[in-house]
């Protein structure tokens, strides 16, 4: 057997080294805040979460899934097989070594694929440094192991070569194990643990509506410290989640703020949060720097502020986020970047009062006037003068309660709402509004970290909604939809909330609205983040558009991968400067389709995309397009009738 006999001991050594390393991280995680975790259910669900949920995401990049299956599978398989080799009877079987050889060969194929992603040129989103060196360790272990076990399978004809390859395998394997806590391999165990002990286990339950797992969790406003300041403020399984990051950079590639040159990369931020806890992870970050990186401190420690006071993250980084969830959607490790960003913002806002730009103004307005721009609530229905909009008094009822949202105060938003109201009237829908009793839904305040204002607004709105009768809430604002549908439930407000695209689609499908065709030019549809990624609604708007006879072209980034307009998360108010503007980039993607109109379904998207200067596609809400089609249908009908009459007269 010769040298190969030592291979199992190498694996044991690797396991021991890795265990010591990981133990240091575990010890660190344990210093995080307590969290309610159902260990048993989590561990039970882990294989499914790995094989289904993780695989779904990984497989969106075929080169990654093709690489990961052999390299990880080969490593686990060969390691497990080698542990069997501790049994002398097994270790003396040439057949056994043949099998081990095959396992290493499988892994070696994977290693080749790993190397292909990094050499001669690494994919731009990947981190370099240790990550760039890892393929060598993997290659050493796989190659060394392969040769050693192959020679053993052949009856050890070249003992010196066996010894040499054993040394190579040992070097590679131990190198991997040695950085199990600080290097790329950390993702393996932390990732597995993260899957089992995930802070949002509901995201793995396919039977739950998407919005259930995308809602922000309330915090106790009576707590000693509001929001998260230093690493130790995070729950222990959040600290664990930071360690799960494999720095694949998919989040960064999807991040609109990164694309616009704002100082945010979700990958970098997660790496920073992992590093901020200390424990030997302060080594240089080898991914792309934050675009236009602001100067920061370098002080780390579990009890040292992450932001400010010498901390390693600049506040502009967290305020650049639009909360679009593209990063979360893309993360193969199921990390929840947005949760952490909001946690950090909550501390900045509630404890430091450090909201940048116009953010402070909108929060002041929200606190004082229940409305981010300080408009009197009584003016919310001003735009609907002459439309016969019914306002519900306490005790009155309607079938559909129309939630107007902030769009009611904005000339552009009013156009959409007027179109919607006219469609509802046309279809004979029994609907009404809350009028002055409708306060802001609180989305903006909450995303800016002002949890207190959000909770206050949520409670007041829930009370107002409880005072009237309705079956469903209808809104044209996906942000309001998300708050009312998913985030008010934490305060006892459980409502059936429908977005206007879905509702109008119902009206068309049930024949309550008859549409004509407004064919003639191509359109493309921009998915609002809070409707699509947050609430999983991708189909209704498209079905509706197709019913209008329009040629629908998809942007390269659409549906789940849609790119944010830049309007979420209060980003337009904090207005962190970058190289260009997110909506300009998005409009460029619209332009690539050649569509003359971009259909939207969110007042925020409308405002952002319409703010793009120069030659650009026309921005129209789906309600406006539908109204055009309904009116085109009517005038075609009256023309036909006119012709009919003339024929009869003739």
Partner 1 sequence: MIANAEALLKPLTIKGMTIRNRVMSTSHAPSFGKDGKPQERYQLYHEEKAKGGIGLTMFGGSSSVSLDSPAAPWNQISVADDSVIPFFQQFSDRVHQHGAKLMIQLTHMGRRTKWDTENWFPVKSASVTREPASRSVSKELEQEEIDRIVRDFAQAARRAREGGLDGCEISAAHGHLVDQFWSQLSNHRTDKYGGSLENRMRFGIEVLTAMRESAGDDYIIGMRMSGDELLKGGLTAEDLIAIASEYASRGLVDFLNVVGGQARDHIAHAVSLPNMSFPVAPYLPIASAVKREVDIPIFHAQRVTDLATGARAVAEGHVDMIAMTRAHIADPHLIKKLTEGRADDIRQCVGYGYCIDRIYIGKDALCIQNAATGREATMPHVIEKADVKKRAVVVGGGVGGLEAARVLAERGHEVTLFEKTDKLGGQVLTAAKATWREALTGIPRWLVGQVQKLGVDIRLNTEADDAAIFALSPDIVIVATGGLPHLGEAMGSEHAISTWDVLEGKVEPSGTVLLYDEMGDHNAASTAEHLAKKGCLVELATHDRMIGEEIGGTNQPVHLRELYNLGVIQTPNMELIEIYPEGNRKIAALRNVMTHQEEERVVDYVVVDYGTHPVDQLHFALKEKSKNAGFVDNDAIVAGKPQPYETNGSGQRDGFTLYRVGDVLAGRNIHAAIYDALRLCKDL
Q: What is the 3-state secondary structure (H, E, C) of 85-154?
A: CCCHHHHCCHHHHHHHHHHHHHHHHHHHHHHHHHCCCCCCCCCCCHHHHHHHHHHHHHHHHHHHHHHHHC
For partner 1, the closer CB: 44 or 637: 637
Examine residue 379 and tell whether it contacts partner 1 (CB under 8 A): yes
Q: Could you tell me the CA-to-CA distances from 408 to 111, 375, 503, 530 in Å, in that order?
A: 57, 10, 19, 19
Minimum CB distance to partner 1, residue 566 (Å): 20
Nearest distance in Å: CB 430, partner 1 = 20
| Residue keyed to tokens 């300041």 | 229
For residue 386, state whether it binds partner 1 (rule: CB under 8 A).
yes
In this complex, which beta carbon is closest to partner 1, that of residue 224 or of residue 646?
A: 646
Footprint (CB under 8 A) of partner 1, residues 275-314: none
Nearest to 186 by CA among 334, 13, 40, 333: 333
The distance of closest approach from Cβ of residue 444 to partner 1 in the complex, given in angstroms and rounded to an integer, is 19
* Closest distance to partner 1 from the beta carbon of 386 (Å): 3
> How far apart are the C-alpha atoms of 338 and 482, rounded to whole Å?
15
Which of 13-29 are b and which e, b meaning 16 or more Cβ less than 10 Å from the residue's Cβ? ebeebbeebbeebbebb
Closest approach, Cβ 418 to partner 1, in A, equals 7
- Is 635 or 644 the residue whose CB approaches partner 1 more closely? 635
CB of 604 to partner 1, least distance (A): 17
Q: How many of the chain's residues bind partner 1 (CB under 8 A)?
A: 13
Of 631, 639, 599, which is closest to residue 516 (Cα–Cα)?
631
Answer yes or no whether residue 388 interacts with partner 1 by CB under 8 A.
yes
Instruction: Compare residues 213 and 406 and give the one whose CB is closer to partner 1.
Output: 406
Q: Does 614 bind partner 1 (CB under 8 A)?
A: no
d(C-alpha 364, C-alpha 110), whole Å:
55
Near partner 1 by CB under 8 A: residue from 385, 395, 511, 614: 385
Distance CA 444, CA 87 (A): 63
Residues numbered 397 to 426 that lie near partner 1 (CB under 8 A) are 409, 411-412, 414-415, 418
Q: Does 383 bind partner 1 (CB under 8 A)?
A: yes
What is the radius of gyration, based on Cα positions, of the chain?
29
Place of tokens 């010196």: 160
Nearer to partner 1 by Cβ, of 382 and 396: the residue is 382
Nearer to partner 1, 412 or 553 (CB): 412
Which CB atom, from 223 or from 388, has the smaller least distance to partner 1?
388
Query: CB count, 10 Å around CB of 49?
Result: 21
CB of 520 to partner 1, least distance (A): 10
CA pair distance 154, 140, nearest whole angstrom: 21
Q: Which stretch binds partner 1 (CB under 8 A): 201-209, 250-258, 383-391, 446-454?
A: 383-391
Alpha helices by DSSP H, listed for 472-621, are: 478-482, 500-509, 539-547, 571-574, 582-593, 603-610
* Euclidean distance between the first and the last CA atom of the chain, given in angstroms as a whole number: 106
Determine the interface stretch with partner 1 among 125-133, 148-156, 184-192, 386-394 (rule: CB under 8 A).
386-394
409 versus 431: smaller Cβ distance to partner 1 = 409
Q: Binders of partner 1 among 221-240, rule CB under 8 A?
A: none
What sign has the CA pseudo-torsion 223, 226, 232, 234? Answer: positive
Q: Rule CB under 8 A: say whether 387 interacts with partner 1.
A: yes
Q: Report, in Å, the least distance between residue 383 CB and partner 1.
A: 6
What tokens does 434 get? 């809350």
Kind plus residue range of the DSSP H or E element containing 310: none
* In the complex, minimum distance from the CB of residue 610 to partner 1, in angstroms, rounded to a whole number: 8
Quote the Cα angle for 132-137-141, to 5°.
150
Q: In terms of CB distance, is 403 or 409 closer to partner 1?
A: 409
Only segment of 305-313, 324-332, 384-392, 456-464 that touches partner 1 (CB under 8 A): 384-392
Task: Name which of 244 and 630 has its Cβ closer to partner 1.
Answer: 630
As measured in angstroms, the least distance from the Cβ of 630 to partner 1 is 17
Give the binding site for partner 1 (CB under 8 A): 379, 382-383, 385-388, 409, 411-412, 414-415, 418
């Amino acid at each position: 057997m010769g040298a190969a006999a030592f291979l199992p001991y190498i694996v044991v050594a690797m396991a021991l080294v890795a265990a010591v390393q990981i133990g240091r991280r575990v010890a660190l995680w344990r210093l995080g805040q307590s969290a309610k975790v159902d260990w048993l259910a989590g561990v039970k669900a882990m294989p499914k979460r790995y094989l289904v949920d993780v695989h779904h995401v990984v497989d969106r990049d075929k080169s990654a899934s093709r690489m990961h299956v052999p390299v990880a599978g080969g490593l686990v398989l060969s390691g497990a097989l080698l542990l069997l080799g501790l049994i002398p009877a097994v270790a003396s079987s040439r057949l056994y070594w043949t099998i081990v050889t095959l396992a290493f060969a499988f892994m070696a194929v994977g290693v080749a694929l790993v190397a292909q992603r990094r050499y001669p040129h690494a994919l731009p989103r990947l981190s370099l440094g240790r990550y760039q060196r890892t393929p060598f360790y993997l290659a050493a272990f796989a190659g060394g192991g392969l040769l050693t076990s192959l020679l053993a399978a052949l009856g050890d004809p070249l003992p010196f070569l066996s010894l040499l390859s054993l040394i190579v395998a040992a070097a590679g394997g131990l190198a991997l194990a040695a950085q199990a806590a600080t290097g790329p391999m950390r993702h393996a165990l932390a990732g597995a643990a993260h899957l089992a002990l995930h802070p949002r286990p509901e995201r793995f339950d396919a039977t739950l509506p998407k919005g259930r797992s995308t809602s922000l969790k309330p915090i106790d406003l009576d707590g000693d410290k509001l929001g998260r300041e230093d690493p130790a403020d995070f729950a222990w399984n959040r600290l664990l989640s930071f360690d799960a990051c494999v720095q694949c950079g998919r989040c960064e590639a999807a991040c609109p703020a990164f694309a616009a040159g704002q100082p945010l990369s979700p990958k970098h931020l997660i790496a920073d949060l992992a590093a901020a806890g200390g424990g030997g992870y302060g080594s240089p970050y080898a991914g792309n720097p934050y675009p236009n990186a602001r100067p920061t401190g370098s002080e780390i420690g579990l009890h040292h502020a992450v932001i400010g006071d010498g901390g390693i993250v600049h506040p502009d980084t967290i305020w650049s986020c639009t909360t679009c969830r593209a990063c979360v959607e893309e993360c193969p490790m199921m990390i929840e970047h947005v949760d952490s960003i909001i946690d950090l913002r909550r501390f900045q806002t509630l404890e430091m009062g450090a909201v940048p730009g116009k953010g402070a103004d909108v929060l002041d307005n929200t606190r004082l006037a229940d409305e981010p721009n300080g408009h009197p609530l009584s003016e919310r229905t001003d735009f609907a003068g002459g439309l016969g909009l019914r306002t519900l008094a306490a005790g009155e009822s309607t079938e559909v309660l129309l939630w107007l949202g902030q769009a009611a105060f904005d000339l552009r938003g009013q156009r959409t709402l007027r179109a919607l109201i006219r469609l509802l009237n046309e279809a004979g829908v029994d609907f009404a509004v809350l009028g002055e009793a409708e306060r802001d839904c609180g989305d903006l305040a909450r995303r800016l970290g002002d949890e207190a204002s959000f909770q206050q607004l949520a409670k007041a709105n829930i009370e107002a909604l409880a005072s009237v009768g309705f079956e469903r809430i209808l809104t044209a604002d996906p942000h309001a939809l998300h708050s009312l549908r998913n985030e008010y439930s934490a305060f006892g407000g459980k409502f059936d909330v429908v977005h206007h695209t879905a509702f109008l689609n119902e009206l068309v499908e049930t024949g309550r609205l008859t549409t004509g065709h407004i064919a003639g030019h191509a359109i493309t549809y921009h998915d609002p983040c809070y409707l699509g990624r947050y609430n999983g609604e991708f189909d209704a708007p498209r079905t509706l558009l197709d019913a209008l006879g329009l040629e629908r072209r998809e942007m390269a980034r659409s549906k789940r991968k849609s790119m944010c307009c830049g309007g979420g998360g209060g980003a337009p108010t904090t207005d962190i400067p970058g190289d260009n503007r997110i909506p300009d980039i998005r409009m460029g993607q619209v332009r690539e389709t050649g569509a003359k109109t971009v259909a939207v379904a969110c007042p925020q998207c409308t405002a952002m995309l319409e703010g793009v200067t120069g030659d650009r596609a026309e921005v129209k809400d789906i309600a406006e397009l539908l109204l055009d089609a309904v009116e085109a249908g009517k005038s075609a009908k009256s023309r036909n009738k006119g012709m009919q009459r003339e024929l009869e007269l003739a």
